[in-house]
Every structure is written in structure tokens, then in C-alpha cells.
């Protein structure tokens, strides 16, 4: 049932981490890989992210049983077209994109007749490129699999088993619901972080040097997220526009309410709100989705 030949297209943070995780967790499998950037291919070969780095996507997938596309979501369709001629008829195609409705459509259009089951491991760091990946990235994280209607249950199960072998927990979800959930838990947070870091970077009256020096007051947490890959995130916002704008609308309403509470001096409303938001962090730590140590454990290191 397991995959013995796995092709990874795109060898950045996600693709590289999958390659390293397969090596560690599925030592019987052979991995092939490709990246559009020649420097990334060279570095991927040096780090051994996959067993064989190829010079085209078509070569990389020629013998694959499972193909995982790890490119920005806006590039999925074009990559799929590129490798389609060489794709074995019985290969399973999946991906790691952060929005799923647009990816499902792009892959279905580019690969008619092929088995496509999109997926999204909810894991990552702010780093990108061939040096960013590591084998444990998916451990204790959730991977959301979004099978299209009529997907072969055996193939869905095989993909789920693959992610579980890499340490992830798997949940099946409708792609539309995925896009709404991730708009809250990932896309809106990134948009907000990108915004506030931009705001702080461009103020009269406060210098950039001051922003940097006093960032430990909270701002620095946002800069981590706002250091994420710009191409990837541009594509996420363009491909999940409706859900992001809907969540942004809700956020803006809530921000306006707190703004008003500050303006009129309503301490009770502020206190009640700030008390309510404490509970959710406890739940996230209990569920194993974050480090329980204060300050993410940063203060343990030369604090």
C-alpha cells in the first residue's frame, strides 16, 4: 500500500522537509526531486533533500507513484502542465498548498484523468529555500487532506498513511471549508503581521532604529511571520481572496469595537475581552500546537 517512489516538485522549506522526513521515516522509499531554480537544485543535492535531483519536472516524475507539488499555489497549474506528459497513469498527485479550492481546480484542469488529492500540512517556519527544510517539521502537526468528490478511498487512505508516517495527524476536509478555516488560523494572521510591520517601518516621529531596539515589547513576534516567503503569500491571498476578505471584515469590526472602548475609556470592556483571549492559548498548548514555555522558550537562551 505504501509509496516506494516519491517525486517532490519544489525543493524549498516544505519540499525539502518532506524529502528529509521520508529519508528518516520511510527509509525504503526512493525520492526524486526538481526545482525551477538551478541554485536550489544544486543545494538540494548537496543536502541530500531527495535521492535524485533532476533537471526537469518531467524527468523527476517519470517513475513516481506519488507526486507532491511544493510550489507556490499560483504556480501549481503551470507545473502540472509541464510534468503531465511524463506522469505515469496510476500516479497519485498531491500538493502542500495553503489554499485548496483554487489548487484543486488548477490541478484537475491540468491533469484530466489523473488521480489528484490535494493536501495541506499545517506546518512551517518563516524560512524558505533549500536550506530551510528539516525532517521533524510535520511531527505533531495536522495535515488536512481534501479529496475531491469521487476520489478513490484507497488512494485517500494511502495519502493519509504517508503523512502519518511523517509524524503528522491527518484530517479530511472539504476544500471550501479548509479555505475558510485557514483564512482564520493562517492567512489573516499573516496579513495582519505584514501590515503592522509595514506600518512600523514607515512612520514619521518614530525611527526604524527605535522600532528595532524596542521590539521586545511585542512587535518582534509579528516580524517573524512577516519574514515569510513573499511569493508564496502573494499567491495565498490572491487564491483565497473571498475567505480572507470575509475574515478581514470580521476582524475590522472587532478592532473598531476595541478602538471605541479605548476612545471612550471603557476599561471593563477591555478587561473582559483580554480575559477571554487568555483561555484559547491554554487550549493550544494542551493540544500540543505550541510550546508551553513562556516567550516560546526564547528567554531560555541568553534571554
Contacts to its own copies from residues 103-162, by CB under 8 A: 122-127, 132, 134, 136-137, 139-142, 144
4 vs 210 by CB, closer to its own copies:
210
Site for its own copies in 188-207 (CB under 8 A): 188-203, 205-206
Window 205-224: residues binding its own copies (CB under 8 A)? 205-206, 208, 210-224
Residues in region 71-90 near its own copies by CB under 8 A: 74
Length of the chain: 303
Residue 74 CA to residue 35 CA, distance in Å, equals 15
Give yes or no for residue 302 binding its own copies (CB under 8 A). Answer: yes
Q: Where are the alpha helices (DSSP H) in 183-302?
A: 188-200, 208-213, 219-225, 230-239, 241-264, 267-286
By C-beta, is 42 or 214 nearer to its own copies? 214
Task: Report the interhelical angle of 241-264 vs 230-239 (nearest 10°).
Answer: 100
Nearest approach in angstroms of CB 256 to its own copies is 9
Based on the shown chain and the rule CB under 8 A, indicate whether residue 52 belongs to the binding site for its own copies. no
CB of 23 to its own copies, least distance (A): 16
**Closest separation between CB of residue 8 and its own copies, Å?**
20
User: Helical H runs in the chain?
Assistant: 13-25, 38-47, 57-61, 76-83, 101-110, 153-165, 175-182, 188-200, 208-213, 219-225, 230-239, 241-264, 267-286
Nearer Cβ to its own copies, position 1 or 278?
278
Query: What contacts 160, CB < 8 A, 6 or more positions away?
Result: 145, 170, 172
Residue from 68, 98, 115, 157 in contact with its own copies (CB under 8 A): 98
Draw the binding track, 264-293, toward its own copies (x: CB under 8 A; -: no contact).
Answer: -x-x--xx-xxxxxx-xxxxx--x-xxx--
Counting contacts by CB under 8 A, is residue 231 touching its own copies? yes
Whole-Å CA distances, 296 to 167, 189, 221: 22, 17, 10
By beta-carbon proximity to its own copies, the closer residue of 155 and 177 is 177
Place of cell 525551477: 36
252: contact with its own copies by CB under 8 A: yes
CA distances from 8 to 11, 36, 65, 131, 265 (A): 7, 12, 11, 16, 55
Amino acid at each position: 500500500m505504501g509509496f516506494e517512489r516519491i517525486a517532490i516538485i519544489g525543493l524549498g522549506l516544505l519540499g525539502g522537509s518532506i524529502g528529509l522526513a521520508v529519508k528518516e521515516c520511510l527509509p525504503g522509499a526512493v525520492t526524486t526531486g526538481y526545482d525551477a531554480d538551478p541554485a536550489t537544485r544544486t543545494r538540494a543535492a548537496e543536502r541530500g533533500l531527495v535521492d535524485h535531483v533532476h533537471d526537469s519536472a518531467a524527468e523527476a516524475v517519470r517513475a513516481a507513484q506519488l507526486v507532491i507539488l511544493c510550489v507556490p499555489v499560483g504556480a501549481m497549474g503551470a507545473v502540472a502542465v509541464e510534468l503531465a506528459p511524463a506522469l505515469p497513469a496510476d500516479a497519485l498527485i498531491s500538493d502542500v498548498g495553503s489554499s485548496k479550492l483554487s489548487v484543486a481546480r488548477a490541478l484537475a484542469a491540468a491533469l484530466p484523468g489523473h488521480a489528484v488529492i490535494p493536501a495541506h500540512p499545517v506546518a512551517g517556519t518563516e524560512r524558505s529555500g533549500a536550506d530551510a527544510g528539516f525532517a521533524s517539521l510535520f511531527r505533531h502537526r495536522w495535515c488536512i487532506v481534501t479529496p475531491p468528490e469521487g476520489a478513490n478511498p484507497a488512494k485517500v487512505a494511502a495519502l493519509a498513511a504517508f503523512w502519518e508516517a511523517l509524524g503528522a495527524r491527518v484530517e479530511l476536509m472539504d476544500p471550501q471549508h479548509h479555505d475558510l478555516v485557514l483564512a482564520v488560523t493562517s492567512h489573516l494572521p499573516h496579513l495582519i503581521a505584514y501590515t503592522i510591520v509595514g506600518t512600523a517601518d514607515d512612520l514619521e516621529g518614530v525611527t526604524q532604529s527605535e522600532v528595532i531596539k524596542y521590539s521586545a515589547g511585542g512587535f518582534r513576534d509579528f516580524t517573524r511571520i512577516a519574514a515569510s516567503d513573499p511569493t508564496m503569500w502573494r499567491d495565498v491571498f490572491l487564491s483565497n481572496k473571498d475567505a480572507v476578505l470575509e475574515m478581514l471584515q470580521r476582524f475590522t469590526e472587532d478592532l473598531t469595537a476595541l478602538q471605541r472602548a479605548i476612545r471612550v475609556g471603557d476599561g471593563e470592556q477591555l478587561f473582559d475581552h483580554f480575559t477571554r483571549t487568555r483561555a484559547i492559548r491554554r487550549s493550544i498548548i494542551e493540544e500540543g500546537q505550541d510550546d508551553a514555555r513562556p516567550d516560546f522558550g526564547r528567554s531560555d537562551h541568553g534571554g
